[in-house]
Amino acid sequence: MPIVKTAAAFVLLAALCAPPAIASEKKSPPPPAKSRVYESYEATALLPDRRPNPRIVRRMVDRLVCAATGKPDPASAWRSLVKPADRVGIKVAASPGPIGGTRPAVAEAVAQSLAAAGIPQSNIIVWDRNLDDLLSAGYRKDSPHYRLRWTDSETGYDKNAILTAPVIGRLIWGDKTFGKKEGTRMVDILTTGEQLSSTSHFAKILSKEVTKVVNIPSLCDSFLTGVNGALANMAISNIDNWRRFAGPPDFGDPYLAEIYADQTIHGKVVLTILDALTMQYAGGPLPNPNYTADQLTLYASLDPVAIDATAVTLLDPMRKASKLPLLEKSTRWLASAETLGLGKHRPEDIELLSVATPQPSPRP
């Protein structure tokens, strides 16, 4: 049977053989959303004597929690993060002292804002590792806004909240199992009498007492981890036998990120606020007022890694001006944290948004 070649036949054949143009196009996936860091600057955040202005600081905190959560008012913002039945821990960084550390006024502003949102004062805890550091930084045992807590060196660590890592550390006084040689491996007991261990324990405050955490590190460098920021403030100061994870040559990489990724921490932190009213760009995490500069700013984000990356960009110019090493080599744990899905650290993946003071509407 002869094949009839007509124009219509060729058109039909082409239509059948050619893949649909629209269906064959592969749509490129949308670029990943950037992590947002919100900043609130107030020229009058510090009084002439460098003490924070409580009224202004409270206003800054309220604006930031609204911006970070996308809620119209502080009460609904906090209720989207915590519930009235939660025991909310406010983790501060007291070791850099009253200037370089987390200012009590910032922690109090958060506590007051939480209370206004319906969290009972008895359920609000402010804590750090050492009581002496807290008192030196200006925190009060009799505060009407929060309960002050610290980690007791003998009873403050949870024997059941264990963290193991293939890094051996020398136990000293204050570590939970220091002096307890029964049942330890022979490799952990040296002929000099020193004890070694690859195990750490979480603080009971974190593992048992609080159900949600607002992390408030200060803008401070650290000779141990590069930045004494969001990750270090939660990871290093909430475990015993922590010295094995800090200092050169790795400065906490990758263990700082891995400790933070534990659900004991990562599962509880709901917001990170960076106290940058004053930065300390050298000598941290110990007090060194000679290397401080007022910034009059607070930062907040749901992404702790982005907060720490922002801290690096703020500290490095001051360190460079003082001919100090930049922080790139001592903050490589930022990349490890992003690999673990804790947040983003590249500048191009972080959006810094200023939260301005609301202006009153003009009268008609």
User: What would the 3-class secondary structure string for 321-337 be?
Assistant: HCCCCCCCCCCCHHHHH
pLDDT band at 242 (very low <50, low <70, confident <90, very high): confident
User: Dihedral, CA atoms, 289, 89, 315, 70, nearest 10 degrees?
Assistant: -140
To which H or E segment does residue 75 belong?
Answer: helix 74-79
- Taking residues 237-244, report their average pLDDT: 90
Preceding omega of 254 cis (within 30 degrees of 0): yes
**pLDDT tens for each residue of 273-331:** 999 999 999 999 999 999 999 999 999 999 999 999 999 999 999 999 999 999 999 99
What pLDDT, on the 0 to 100 scale, is given for residue 198?
64
Spacing of C-alpha 80 from chain mean position:
19
What pLDDT, on the 0 to 100 scale, is given for residue 37?
98
What pLDDT, on the 0 to 100 scale, is given for residue 232?
98
Decide which of 125 and 187 is more confident.
125
What pLDDT, on the 0 to 100 scale, is given for residue 21?
41
In terms of DSSP bridges, do strands 292-301 and 269-280 run parallel, antiparallel, or are they unpaired? antiparallel
**pLDDT tens for each residue of 174-216:** 544 544 544 444 444 444 455 566 688 999 999 999 999 999 9
Predicted TM-score of the model (pTM): 0.84
What pLDDT, on the 0 to 100 scale, is given for residue 163?
82
Nearest by Cα to 335 from 261, 265, 269, 257 = 257
